[in-house]
Amino acid sequence: MTANELRQKYIDFFISKGHKQIAGKSLVPENDPTVLFTTAGMHPLVPYILGEPHPAGTRLVNYQKCIRTGDIDAVGDSSHLTFFEMLGNWSLGDYFKEEAIRMSYEFLTSSQWLGIPPEKLSVTVFEGDAEVPRDDVSASVWKTLGIPETRIYYLPREDNWWGPAGTSGPCGPDTEMFIDTGKPPCSPSCRPGCSCGKYFEIWNDVFMEYNKKADGTYEKLSRRCVDTGMGIERTVAILQGKKSVYDTEVFQPVIRAIEEVTGSRYGVSEDTDRSIRIIADHVRAATFILGDERSVRPSNVGQGYILRRLIRRASRHGRKLGREDAFLAVPARVVMEMYSPYYPSLQAAGETVLEELTKEEKRFLETLKKGEHEFEKLLPNLQKDPRKWIPGRIAFRLYDTYGFPIEITEELAREHGLTVDRKGFEEAFARHQELSKQGSEKVFKGGLADNSEMTTALHTATHLLHQALRMVLGDHVRQMGSNITAERLRFDFTHPSPLTPEQIKRVEDIVNQQIQADLPVKMEMMSLEEARKRGALAFFNDKYEDTVKVYSVGNFSKEVCGGPHVDRTGKLGKFVIQKEQSSSAGVRRIRAILIRE
């Protein structure tokens, strides 16, 4: 079964079970300061899991592009990925454990769908602890489906519990499904989740039935939800009997393109294979980031830094394979050809993706040779040091002078049996350059946007700000992204030049006038076509469903949005713009707060 066949079968199965297919969302989350990228299929659905009504109903299914940054350094082995596709289905206060598990079992084992022999399945459930009891309900359902007690494993919280990301919020146990690959167990304690390769996780059903309160105690939710996830790449590998995701048709065309432009051959040596896998993964991830409907370009902060890091690491491994000039556009074009039918934004971005990729690659290659030469000069003395490490000041010099991201210095160090004084690097970095004041953008921290009163108020304020900017600057202004915490809002929009103090004051005044008018905020559901006919702003074409939620603030603004919002603008307080600055070429950024008496 190919990845394309799996994707379609999954959608067809859940549509047959009464689910509505919804569109996948952008890789860049909206209004969530806790993560840089969409990390799972459920991530864009958090507002609906928290209680917002979804325009498509209570049973949903989709496929979602995802990026996870925590494993970038591990990419190069046979399994780790930065970009991946996640299949997911959701119940928003509809069915719960029994029906979810029965549907999972049917899709996995029925000959009409995946046809996995039931005897190869093992499952895990939450074993319970002092705070929450054991999930006997899930275990009981698995037993009625024929999974024997010997293949049902009760595991602790670190294995079978989801969330919350912060100190409080919705959470619950999960049940995970594994395929026994037939390998002998590594030890008598070998079980699903063991890293020896005997068990391969294929699916995960999360049951959000609790709310963790601020005092650390748990209460049952009145509205229980189900969130499931199945990774396309990993599932296809196991269905095809492949040892690695890189051996499937998902990666083989990209690998062939890399072989062609580097003159290397995959499968000849592990060192070469590792470099090819790094290039294949990173160029696929970079292509999707550059081709996302929310504009991201290489930079030194946030999403742009991750993009830059991926491109530069791929470029360095191309150099290891003997390629001296820019080449990443070749495999990137293959990625776009493969995925454009499923992700139209890739085709729309077209040549811009290739141009940005090549521009960043060339920029890095100009300094890479000098940096590697400098590193080789330093290496003999570094290896004589009994600590076997690179001092932070030297790591910073490689960064500051030769443009080496610290991760590349660490990778070079590992290749020569050294470590890097990361703390010393960060101290040197702080002394010489304040790279970013956006402390809320924690590159490797995962989590969920909160649904607090203040965050909701600031979300409504972004709608007022968006319309005010269009009134003061013109209709060319369009939202390019937003990032909201309980303390402030950050809003990116298209505009070619800095705002004057007079323009900033005018925008502020307009927003505050609407707050003082105590306008009602109303939500209606309608088709996207009807929303546009009524003048609603809707700029992210790929991410909308056929039926959308339209929020109107009096007669002042009308915008397609998932919510949540306050019911009247008088609840917002005083709107104050703290800063206006450049975000990227042709994009400006405003930071603002609400002051309440």
Q: What is the distance in angstroms between the CA of the first residue and the CA of the last residue of the chain?
A: 61
Q: What does the pLDDT read at residue 262?
A: 96
CA–CA distance, 100 with 207 (Å, rounded to integer): 9
Q: What does the pLDDT read at residue 165?
A: 52
Tell me the pLDDT tens digit for each residue of 414-442: 989 999 999 999 888 777 644 333 433 33
pLDDT score of 145 more than 90: yes
CA–CA distance, 153 with 423 (Å, rounded to integer): 41
Cα–Cα nearest to 393, from 433, 435, 426? 426
pLDDT score of 447 more than 50: no
CA–CA distance, 486 with 456 (Å, rounded to integer): 8
Assigned token pair, 156: 């602790």
**Secondary structure class of 515 (helix, strand, coil):** helix
Q: At 451, is the pLDDT very low, low, confident or very high (cuts 50, 70, 90)?
A: low
CA–CA distance, 168 with 392 (Å, rounded to integer): 38
pLDDT score of 77 more than 50: yes
Residue type, 513: Q
DSSP readout, 534-561? TT-B---GGG--SEEEEEEETTTEEEE-
| Phi (first) and psi of residue 560, to 5 degrees | -75, 125
Q: What does the pLDDT read at residue 405?
A: 75
CA–CA distance, 364 with 228 (Å, rounded to integer): 40
Q: At what angle do helices 351-384 and 270-290 cross, to 10 degrees?
A: 140
Q: What does the pLDDT read at residue 144?
A: 98
Q: List the alpha helices (DSSP H) in 153-224.
A: 157-160
How many residues would you count in the chain?
A: 597
Q: What does the pLDDT read at residue 583?
A: 79
Residue type, 440: S
Q: What does the pLDDT read at residue 586?
A: 79
CATH H-level, domain 3-246: superfamily: Bira Bifunctional Protein; Domain 2 (3.30.930.10)
Cα–Cα nearest to 395, from 355, 365, 425? 425
Q: What does the pLDDT read at residue 589?
A: 93
Q: What does the pLDDT read at residue 448?
A: 28
Does the predicted TM-score (pTM) go above 0.75? no
User: With the C-alpha atoms ordered 107, 112, 115, 121, is the resulting torsion angle positive or negative?
Assistant: positive
Q: What does the pLDDT read at residue 437?
A: 33
Mean pLDDT of 470-477: 93
The mean of the pLDDT values for the chain is: 89
Q: What does the pLDDT read at residue 215?
A: 85
Q: What does the pLDDT read at residue 197?
A: 84
Q: What does the pLDDT read at residue 1?
A: 93
| In contact, 360 and 298? CB cutoff 8 Å | yes
Q: What does the pLDDT read at residue 436?
A: 35
| In contact, 222 and 170? CB cutoff 8 Å | no
CATH of domain 453-595: 3.30.980.10
Cα–Cα nearest to 322, from 389, 253, 276? 276
Residue type, 456: T
Mean pLDDT of 582-588: 80
Strands 152-155 and 121-126: parallel
Query: Where are any strands of DSSP class E within 213-256?
Result: 218-231
Q: At 544, is the pLDDT very low, low, confident or very high (cuts 50, 70, 90)?
A: low
Assigned token pair, 551: 């929020």
Q: At 107, is the pLDDT very low, low, confident or very high (cuts 50, 70, 90)?
A: very high
pLDDT score of 543 more than 60: no
User: H or E segment at 582?
Assistant: strand 574-584
Say which range, 142-156, 194-208, 244-258, 323-337, has the weakest mean pLDDT: 194-208
Assigned token pair, 485: 């915490």
Assigned token pair, 264: 């290397």
Q: At 587, is the pLDDT very low, low, confident or very high (cuts 50, 70, 90)?
A: confident
Q: At 47, is the pLDDT very low, low, confident or very high (cuts 50, 70, 90)?
A: confident
Q: What does the pLDDT read at residue 102?
A: 98
Q: At 444, is the pLDDT very low, low, confident or very high (cuts 50, 70, 90)?
A: very low
Q: What does the pLDDT read at residue 511?
A: 97
Query: Where are any strands of DSSP class E within 375-508?
Result: 389-390, 419-420, 479-484, 489-494
Q: What does the pLDDT read at residue 540?
A: 61
Q: What does the pLDDT read at residue 134?
A: 96
pLDDT score of 166 more than 60: no
Q: What does the pLDDT read at residue 147?
A: 97
| In contact, 222 and 240? CB cutoff 8 Å | no
Assigned token pair, 533: 């006919």
Q: What does the pLDDT read at residue 253?
A: 98
CA–CA distance, 467 with 478 (Å, rounded to integer): 9
Q: What does the pLDDT read at residue 433?
A: 47
pLDDT score of 529 more than 90: no
| In contact, 33 and 440? CB cutoff 8 Å | yes
Mean pLDDT of 436-460: 54
The total of other beta-carbon atoms located within 10 Å of residue 430's CB is 11
Tell me the pLDDT tens digit for each residue of 223-242: 999 999 999 999 999 999 99
Mean pLDDT of 37-49: 84
Q: How far is CA 371 from CA 139, 374, 426, 454, 507, in A?
A: 57, 5, 19, 47, 47
Tell me the pLDDT tens digit for each residue of 113-136: 999 999 999 999 999 999 999 999
Mean pLDDT of 556-571: 90
Tell me the pLDDT tens digit for each residue of 251-300: 999 999 999 999 999 999 999 999 999 999 999 999 999 999 887 888 87
Mean pLDDT of 156-171: 81
What is the residue whose two structure tokens read 């990137």? 332
DSSP readout, 356-401? HHHHHHHHHHHHHHHHHHHHHHHHHHHHHSTT-EE-HHHHHHHHHH
Q: What does the pLDDT read at residue 483?
A: 82
Residue type, 152: I
DSSP 8-state class, residue 178? E
